[in-house]
A = this chain, B = another copy of it.
Amino acid sequence: MIRMPTAPQPGTGLRERKKIRTRQAIRRAAYRLFEERGFEATRVDEIAAAADVSPSTVFRYFPTKEDIVLSDEEDPIVEAALRARPAGEPPLASLREALRQTIEQLYASPEAPEEIARRMRLIATVPSIRARLHESVADTSGMLTRVLAERTGRRPEDLEIRVFMGAVLGGLTEAMLHVAEHHAEVDVVDVLDRALTVLQNGLAD
């Protein structure tokens, strides 16, 4: 007989909760060690020990050491927000709103700003993390390209759409790095706005 599980609520079971706790334990331990002695000077074994799990478990949760810092949980949020936009809206406007909502949501939880600041500091200073960031942005770009292609009724391999999304994400990544390098002095939403303005008007002049 074909296995037909009784559709357990996501996030319900003890198993799920345990996984979330382990994930957080690893991340917390890692961040603490990164602050203390720096990213590259911290070995994965040490993170594992500090989080009280085995090294293999660390890799089960995070495919690379850099992903402990990055680990894109934003993607699904942006995707949902983008899909929720009205059909006729111009792409860049849809993205603007989707991104604004995502940022808002990310800053919602109380300890978020602290964590984001730590993350920004690492992105700004550790080259291998920046490298991985660019990779993950490329993935995000692919995902958004698919959504946008679907919304506008084009094929996702369409050159024009790819270039469009590549440009938007390239611009926004630079904006993000700008924030990372000046996180104390700038307002994220303001930078996002200025970046989108450049994308809208500035490329022609």
Chain A residues packing against B (C-beta within 8 Å)? 90-92, 130-132, 134-135, 137-138, 141, 157, 159-160, 162-175, 177-178, 181, 191, 194-195, 198-205
Contact = CB atoms under 8 A, between A and B. Distances in A.
Copies of this protein chain in the complex: 2
B134 A162 contact: no
A171 B175 contact: no
Nearest to A92: B203
A203 B135 contact: no
Instruction: Say what secondary structure dominates the interface of chain A.
Output: helix
Nearest to A191: B159
A198 B145 CA distance: 15
Nearest to A177: B162
B202 A164 contact: yes
A72 to B, nearest CB: 15
14 contacts: A130-B135, A134-B135, A141-B170, A157-B178, A159-B175, A159-B178, A160-B194, A163-B174, A164-B202, A165-B174, A166-B170, A167-B199, A200-B203, A203-B203
A194 B159 contact: yes
Contacts of A132: 131
A204 B90 CA distance: 8
A164 B198 contact: yes
Contact of A174 (B166, B174, B202): B166
A118 B168 CA distance: 29
